[in-house]
Amino acid sequence: MKLQALWRSPSAWPAGAALVLTLAVWLSYTAVYRAALQEAGQRGQAQMQLQARELLGSVEKFEHLPYLVGADQALAQVLSAPQDPLRLNAANRYLQFAQHRTGVAAIYLMDTTGHTLAASNWSTPGSFVGRNYRFRPYFQQAMEGGAGRFYGVGVTTGEPGFFIAAPLLQNNRIEGVVAVKVDLTPLEERWREAGLPLALADEAGVMFLSAQRDWRYRSLYPLAEPARAKLRETRQYGGTLTEALSPQGLDAAQAPTALQVVDGGHYLVQARPLEHFGWQLLLFADPGPARRQGALAAGLVGLSLAVVLLALAFAWQYRRRMSERRAMARERARAIEALERRIAERTAELTAANDAAVQTGKLALLGQMAAGISHELSQPLAALHTLADNAAEFLKRQDPDNASSNLQLIGGLCTRMGNIVGELKAFARKEPARLEPVRLAEVVASTLMLMEPLRHASQTRIETETLDAGLAVLGDGIRLEQVLVNLLRNGIDAMEGQAERRIDIRVSATGETVTLSVRDHGPGLSDAARAHLFEPFFTTKPSGKGLGLGLSLSQAIVREMGGQISAHNAGPGARFDVTMRRTATPPDATAPSEHPQLNRTPFYACTAD
Ligand code: ADP
CA dihedral 466, 470, 471, 475 (to 10 degrees): 130
Task: Strand 173-182: give its sheet, edge to edge.
Answer: 116-119, 106-111, 173-182, 160-170, 148-153
Of all atoms in ligand 1, which is nearest to the CA of residue 486? 7
| Neighbouring-strand partners of residue 265 | 262
Amino acid 278: pLDDT: 84
What is the value of pTM for the model shown? Answer: 0.48
3-state secondary structure 450-481: HHHHHHHHHCCEEEECCCCCCCEEEECHHHHH
The rounded distance, in Å, linking the Cα atoms of 110 and 594 is: 147
SS3 content of the chain, % helix, strand, coil (to 5): 50, 20, 30
Integer Cα distance of 26 and 37 in angstroms: 16
Nearest to 211 by CA among 235, 223, 194: 194
| For the CA of 576, the nearest atom of ligand 1 | 23
Q: Which residues have C-beta within 8 Å of that of residue 407, sequence separation ≥ 6?
A: 391
Q: What beta strand segments (E) does 465-598 contain?
A: 472-475, 502-509, 513-520, 564-569, 574-583
pLDDT over 50 at 339, yes or no: yes
Ligand 1 pocket test target in 354, 487, 490, 577 with most atoms within 8 Å of CB: 490
**Test site for ligand 1: of 533, 554, 575, most ligand atoms within 8 A of the Cβ:** 533
The 10s digit of each residue's pLDDT in 482-535 is: 899 899 999 999 999 999 999 999 999 999 999 999 999 999 999 989 999 998
Question: What CA–CA distances, in Å, run from 434 to 474, 596, 603?
Answer: 9, 11, 20
pLDDT score, position 493: 94
- Nearest C-alpha to atom 11 of ligand 1 is from which residue? 539
Find the 559 Cα to ligand 1 centroid distance in Å: 19
The pLDDT score that the predictor gives to residue 266 is: 86
Please write the tens of the pLDDT for every residue from 538-594. Answer: 888 876 677 787 898 889 889 888 999 999 999 889 999 999 999 988 776 544 444
The rounded Å distance from CA 547 to ligand 1 centre is 10
Alpha carbon nearest to ligand 1 atom 23, residue: 491
By alpha-carbon position, which residue is closest to atom 16 of ligand 1? 540
536 residue type, one letter:
P
Architecture of the CATH domain 65-182: 2-Layer Sandwich (3.30)
Which residue would you say has higher pLDDT here, 369 or 10?
Answer: 10
Q: Residue 549: what pLDDT?
A: 78
491 Cα: distance to centroid of ligand 1 (angstroms): 8
SS3 readout for 293-306: HHHHHHHHHHHHHH
Q: What CA–CA distance (Å, rounded) separates 53 from 49?
A: 6
Taking the C-alpha atoms of residue 444 and residue 466, their distance in angstroms, rounded to an integer, is 11
CA-derived radius of gyration, the chain: 63
CATH of domain 432-599: 3.30.565.10
Q: What is the mean pLDDT of the chain?
A: 84
- Give the largest CA-CA distance in the chain: 181
- Mean pLDDT for the stretch of residues 261-286: 85
Q: What is the distance between the alpha carbons of residues 444 and 350, in angstroms, rounded to a whole number?
A: 14
233, exposed or middle or buried, with CB in 10 Å at 0-12, 13-18, 19+?
Answer: exposed
Collect all residues with Cβ–Cβ distance below 8 Å to 307 and sequence separation of at least 6: none
Q: What are phi and psi of 425, to 5 degrees?
A: -55, -35
The set of protein residues with a Cβ atom below 6 angstroms from ligand 1 is: 490-491, 494, 520, 522, 525, 529, 533, 538-541, 546-548, 550-552, 574
Measured in angstroms, how far is the CA atom of residue 555 from the centroid of ligand 1? Answer: 13
- Using one digit for the tens of pLDDT, what is the confidence trace for 358-373? 555 555 455 555 555 6
Predicted confidence (pLDDT) per residue in 14-38, tens digit: 888 889 999 999 999 999 999 998 8
Candidates 186, 187, 196; CA nearest to 43 is 196
Sorting pLDDT into bands at 50, 70 and 90, what band is 608? Answer: very low
Which residue owns the Cα nearest ligand 1 atom 13?
539
Percent of the chain predicted with pLDDT > 90: 44
The best mutation among 416, 551, 552 to test binding of ligand 1, ranked by most ligand atoms within 8 Å of the C-beta, falls on 551
Query: How much distance in Å is there from the Cα of 542 to the middle of ligand 1?
Result: 11
